[in-house]
Every structure is written in structure tokens, then in C-alpha cells.
Structure 1
């Protein structure tokens, strides 16, 4: 499925992170949840930064962006920036430009890369056609898949693989910073709340993903991969801490990921997409009945958060709703209220209060609704209680939460 969580890039996160630090939790981390890094995804972001030199901008990054606060981005660009005029640099820029014109961003590229074998190997670990399809996704994949072979060749011939392995200690440090902050038992909380078991959860640290040189900026993606053992949720995350430049990568003792509250927040959000996104597609016909609610005023506030369609607007509402209700389920009422302020008060996800009342029916009748998917058609009925005029008013006035 196409993913909309991101990219997102959750730039309006003004939540007071302090309230996220105390979580009631299961006693230990599940062995099914791992933190790692992915050479294919690192290679993609090296090329994305090169492509910006030709495009002028991509996402929130421009040709003039100074990434000195991200040591791996800076080091990779210093080594490979000259490739902007090579065949791979030209192709990378052309691909990203074509995709963004149809409102497809790098989240779909990252999802597809998770199906591939780790470079320098070629081919796929899992059949890409197992994932749910739609016309937009099919069109995008026809453009994306041929580029993977070009990426693999860049990994080998340009020495990107050697570069990444040479700085393995930096990646090990990044993995450690995130692993220590994943809430113990969060995978089981989420499985129980959504009523769905998965074989594993995987967090991928992404030091080469460029972000703006602004304190608190970050990017995150929440794809899932369909395997023969079932669906595996992934969370791909950039750095979130600005680092002071040092003379060499080997001198860093901090790696840009040591941000406990941010890790908690992003874990629930990004993994939440794997429990929500796949189930919206079968309900798309019901959803389209209410598309008039994606008014000009709502579009304006959603577009500012990289949300460009009614479909993606609903997904993002439901994922954020899940964050709030899971916080309540964990008896962290302070965090739940802070999330309400963020999502409804600050970011104008205007349907969340009504959705939250409806979700209490799901929570109180789990025998009738064993899974979130069983309840989803009922949840979507909240939209029939709104008019476009009401939505316009809600989208242009301070949110009530």
C-alpha cells in the first residue's frame, strides 16, 4: 500500500516530550523487536541528497541546506557529491521529480527497498507483488524498480558499500542509542490493542537521511513488508538531535539518536501505520462517500503536513487516534492529553475527538470486535455527522481537545 505517515515528516511536533518519559510497561523488551540499519536505505539517501543538487529542493531540503549537524550526511555528500552530474545522479533526480509530481514521495521507495536483498546482492527477499496494490502504487513501482539496479551498481562501483562499512562504528552507536529507548513491551501493547499478531517488529536507524538544520526537526517512515510468515512492521527514523561538527566520524561519541521521548513517540506512530494502512484500502468505497469533507480549509492545514488527499488524511487521523488510545490503555493519561493537544489543538486533526468517542465502543466490546479491522467500518461512520461547513470552521479555529 502507499504510505502517508511521513513524510509526513511530522514537522509540527510541538508536544512537550517530558511527559512521554514515564511509561507503564511490560517487564522486558520482546525479542521480536530489533533495531538495525539497512545498507540499501543508506545508499538511497546518499543519492537523494545528491539529487537535491540538481533539483534545487526535495521535501524540506534545499541545495543550500547545511547538514554539518548530521555527520554521516555531511561525510557522504563530501565523498559522493560529485556524482550529481553522473548518470546515476541525473537518474535519481529525474525519478524523484517525476514521483513528486504525482504526490508519491520517498516513503514508497523505502517500502519497496525493504523487499530487496541487502546490497551488494541483487533481487528480492520477498515478492513485491504480495503487498496490496492500487493504480498509483503500480504506476510508481514501474518507475522505482528499474532504479534499484542502478543503486546496487552505485553501491559497488562508487564505493558506497565500502564507505558505509568503514563507518560501521557510527552505525553501531546509532543502533545502541535507539535500542535503549524503545519502550519495553510496546510491541505487545500494540498487538493487543489492534488485535493483530505479527512475526516481528524492526526499527531502522537512518543516519544519512537529511533533515533541516533546525532543533527538533526529524523524519520518519512506517512501512510494512508482507512475508511468508506474515506482515512485519518497520520504523525508519532519521536523527533528531543536532550534533556539533568534529574533525572525523571516528571521534563521535553521540550519534544523533539519543532522544528517549522522541523515540517513544515515533515508535507508536510509525508502527501504528502497519496496523492501520492495510485495512483502509478495502474500505475506500465507504470512505469516498465523505470526500467532500476534505474542504479547502482542511486541505490547507493538511498540505502543510505533507498530506494531500482525503484518503491519506483519514489514515493520519486514525494513526494519531491510535497513539492517544494506546496511551490511555497504558494508563499514561498525561501523555494521552498531550497528544490530544498536539494532534487536535495544534495540528487540526479535526475528526479525532469524534473518533475517540467511537473507539471507546471498540475498547468496551472486544468480544464483538476482536480486531481493529472488525471495527473499522463502524469507526468510519463518524464522518456522516459532519458537514463541509463544520469542517471549515474546525480547521480554521483553535482546536478543542
Structure 2
């Protein structure tokens, strides 16, 4: 199963394995943003969220996270309950049952042109084509069949009219909430500078229809340009528990806490800097395996409690959390940076952060030698192996 390193489940963290205005906008595949942050919803993703919510994967999420969790997603999903046997839902069930998608892979819809066309314009990450019994071409053919069913679901459910009219007040409310939690603009320039990242656009995708408390990241390359998407679903702790879709003025969508929004958005952004060098670089993979002795029983227990089930995930999450600390320092929020670092160490079990913090000084002080984080990772991983390691108290 494709288990993404850039995946966050807030509160719930279990996996099977391991358009701004009120009116609907047709968003192009990407918006050139450079150091400007684009925050918007995406009709493709909103549609896939409804389909996933109706599927076995969605049922699993709802059953294991009982009310009052995700009441808005439940209410919207109930609106389309008569389509629970639709072919698009059955295709998602098939993909999930055969480990071809993750528990909530709704953000794969970002690889598609806008509905109602919904044509794949860029290949999915390589791991989606890794299958013991199917060729890459056969895998793609299965996805293509699913995409055709999604197009029909969009039509059969009347989603164009739903998004344009019935759900319009919800999207208006969401964008009003987002105006108060937007991250500081300088965090993008800090990210680009610190990690040597040269992506062409950056977008945060928000959602009304999706299960709440989820973060994902995607880097999509198109015509030699990189486009980074960070999916941040609503905050479970602030989203309304009582939902009346006929009186949306009383609903809180769940984008009112700046700390929640910053943590998920920045966290997912940093994942994009590490995904390729940690997953596909053969030298790094050998060095990561050499460090696997650090994934002892106490560390495994601490990570499993947060939804991380392997040493590679544990390592990745250490690096990303250190990055959150470093970006907070670079953007001038030193109090929050130090508070967050200590919280990760003492409350979340990321005890190797002090070691990594010291080792990163080599990178910080020698940027001419290391123009980006990928060039430094082999040095970091080797030095980590040679370092004295802390233990759980």
C-alpha cells in the first residue's frame, strides 16, 4: 500500500497497513505563486472526499472516531447516502481492499484536471505503481477506470450545482475563518532558503467535505516545474459538533485556530523537502537501515501511539519536527520554536531531536558546500550513526 511519509492524522492516527469566493471557480492546474501562498479549496478533492466518505475506508474512519468527531463530513455525506453503491464508491473500495491506495488518498485528485473533465495530467508517485501482481500499465488502467467513474459520480450527484449553490455558504464561511489563521508570508521564503527548495508554486488546499484532522503533502512535477500542495483539513477541536446545513451561520468549519493551521501546514510543507531523498536515494536508504537500531521497543511504542509504524517514518518525523523548530526560529518566533521542540521531546517521544539539532549546525554554517538539504542528508545520517544516542527515561 502507498503509505505517504507526508501524512498527518490529528487525534486519530490509524491506517489499514503499514476557489475562493462563494461561487464555484474553475481553478487552473496550478497558480504561479513563487513566495506567495495560495490558500483555496479544490472541487476535485471535495468530490473525492464525498466518495471516500461513502466507501469502506470512510466507514472505517467514522466508526473508529465516533461523534462528535467530523460531524460536518457526516452531514454532507448523508446528503449523498443514496449513492453509496455508486460505481465510483465501489472502485474506491476495490483500490483500498487491494492496497492500491491509502486510507484517505483524496489528494490524488490533485493530479487531475478540474471536474467535470477529470483527466490525469501527471503520473502518481512511483510507489502507486509498485505492485506484486500488476504491471505499471495495468495499475494505471485500473486508476483510469476509477477516474471515469468519478466523472459519472460528479454528474449523477449533481455536484456542480451543490458546490455552486447549496454548499456556497459553507465555503464562504470557511474562507472567512481562514482570513484569521493565514501563516506569515515569510515562512515560504524561509523554507525555500533553508532547504534550498526551488518549487514554482505553493498551495494550501482546505476542505469542507473531508474528514477532519488530516494533513497531506504532494509535490507534482509538470513540464519541469514543481508544484507543492499542502492539504489541511479542518480542526476537530474547533469544528462544530451540532450541524444544521440549513443554518450555516451557526457552523464553525474548523479553521479558527492559528496554531493548528500553522502546525499542519508547515509540517506538511517540510515533508516535501525530504520525500524524494529519503525514499529513493539508494545511499540514504542504506544509511537509514544502518540507523534502525534506534527504533527500539520504547521508541516503537511512542511512535505507534501517534500512527507511525516503521523506522523510516520515525526518522522522517524527527527531521520534519526539527524543521518546524528551525523555520519558527528563522521567522522570528523563538518562544514558540523552543516550546514546540521541548514538547516534541518530552511529550511525543522524539528524543533524538537534540542530536539532530547539533548535527544540523554543519549544514547551517556551510551552505556553500551544501546548497540544499538533499546534498547534506548523507552527511547527516552518517554523523547521526556515529553520535552518542539518548535513551528514554
TM-score, structure 2 normalization: 0.81
Higher relative contact order (CA 8 A, sep 6+): 1
For residues 104-128 of structure 1, the C-alpha deviation after alignment (integer angstroms, 9 at most, x for no partner) is 5246x34432111111113123x21
For residue 130 of structure 2, what is the aligned residue in structure 1? 138
CA distance in 1, matches of 2:35, 2:214: 26
RMSD (CA atoms): 3.0
CA distance in 1, matches of 2:55, 2:322: 36
1:192 aligns with 2:189: no
For residue 47 of structure 2, what is the aligned residue in structure 1? 43
Cα distance change, pair 118–335 in 1 and its aligned pair in 2 (3 A): same
Q: CA deviation at 1:236?
A: 0.7
CA distance in 2, matches of 1:175, 1:55: 25
Counterpart among 222, 231, 238 of residue 233 in structure 2: 238
CA distance in 2, matches of 1:184, 1:86: 42
For residue 266 of structure 2, what is the aligned residue in structure 1? 268
Cα distance change, pair 97–66 in 1 and its aligned pair in 2 (3 A): farther
Matches within 5 A, 1:89-238: 89-99=89-99, 105-106=102-103, 109-125=105-121, 127-128=122-123, 131=125, 133-134=126-127, 138-139=130-131, 142=139, 144-166=143-165, 167-180=167-180, 181-211=182-212, 218-238=213-233
Contact 2:239 2:253 in 1 (8 A): no
Q: CA deviation at 1:45?
A: 1.4
Q: Secondary structure at the match of 1:128?
A: coil
For residues 165-206 of structure 1, the C-alpha deviation after alignment (integer angstroms, 9 at most, x for no partner) is 221332233234224422122211110111122211101111
For residue 380 of structure 1, what is the aligned residue in structure 2? 381
For residue 284 of structure 1, what is the aligned residue in structure 2? 285
CA distance in 2, matches of 1:201, 1:83: 34
Contact 2:52 2:58 in 1 (8 A): no
CA distance in 1, matches of 2:143, 2:376: 35
Q: CA deviation at 1:270?
A: 1.1
Q: Secondary structure at the match of 2:80?
A: helix
Give aligned pairs, total: 358
TM-score, structure 1 normalization: 0.79
Q: Secondary structure at the match of 1:198?
A: coil
For residues 353-375 of structure 1, the C-alpha deviation after alignment (integer angstroms, 9 at most, x for no partner) is 11111111111111221211121
CA distance in 2, matches of 1:209, 1:328: 32
Higher deviation after alignment, 343-352 or 62-71? 62-71
